[in-house]
A = this chain, B = another copy of it.
């Protein structure tokens, strides 16, 4: 009989984004994007979408270059956190326990094979809306902002990696993520993977870094309530002079309706909507996309834009931007 799945990770909790243009990035994320500042501390702004239940989902940190500081996942229970730490300690991937950060407590830190920093924690602070941010409906964390593009919640992130297979096995084995879709090239090597710990069809993705550089970031994605709001977001970006890299269009992989822009610090940001698509099967059979299938472009025929393969964060001299 098959072994039982590891169900210890609850969800993607937040992403730390590095920016060399902190003030412009913050202006973008608050005024144009519509996030709210939950706290400022030590050169970082902690930002939230209106229905994130934790205090924040984006830690924006001033840095010399763009990129990702870390990604953080919340576990399903205190015991689940201990189990994951136990599994990681001695694996060579562990960094160790930390006392946490704004909004969350005791944290176990590790690195995936490609070098991305991953934080795990259970203890968290729920967002308590101040009176001027109190929502009309008590099952919502914060009032709908009606400003910018109104993202509802953090959805997923995407990083680059040199060895996709090694990274996949790390997330499967140590953290219990399930593979839902992947790209396998004609030579049998893996070029992309989409993994989930939830009923969302992915909580993160990795695609191969064409420059061979480790530890790079590709984008972070917020969920909007409808495709129509993503079309409106495109207008808002247009009006604000934000660089639209590609979209709106529908991904063939995962069927996500997407729009990609570059924030002032150079990081790629996506807004997306998945319609009613969820992965409910506990034994979902990963979808494998071939090289020929990827060549067809996106769902409705849009060719994948070249910078999607070359623009990683931080930029690298050879091939990156």
Interface residues of A (CB under 8 A from B): 1-2, 4-5, 7, 10-11, 32, 51, 53-54, 74-80, 126, 135-140, 143-144, 146-149, 152-153, 155, 181, 198-200, 223-229, 231-232, 234-239, 241, 244-250, 252-255, 257, 259, 273-278, 280-282, 284-285, 287, 289, 299-302
Contacts and interface: CB of A to CB of B under 8 A. Distances in A.
Contacts of A254: 139
Given A77-B5, A231-B250, A225 B276 contact: yes
Contact of A199 (B126, B136, B248, B278): B278
Contacts of A223: 276
Contacts of A275: 152, 225-226
A238 B299 contact: yes
A228 B241 CA distance: 25
B247 A300 contact: yes
Q: Which among A80, A238, A247, A289 has the highest number of chain B CB atoms within 10 Å?
A: A238
Contacts of A77: 2, 4-5, 282
A241 B134 CA distance: 12
B280 A76 contact: no
A281 B4 contact: no
Contact of A146 (B236, B245, B287): B236
Nearest to A252: B137
A11 B199 CA distance: 10
Contact of A139 (B54, B234, B241, B255): B255
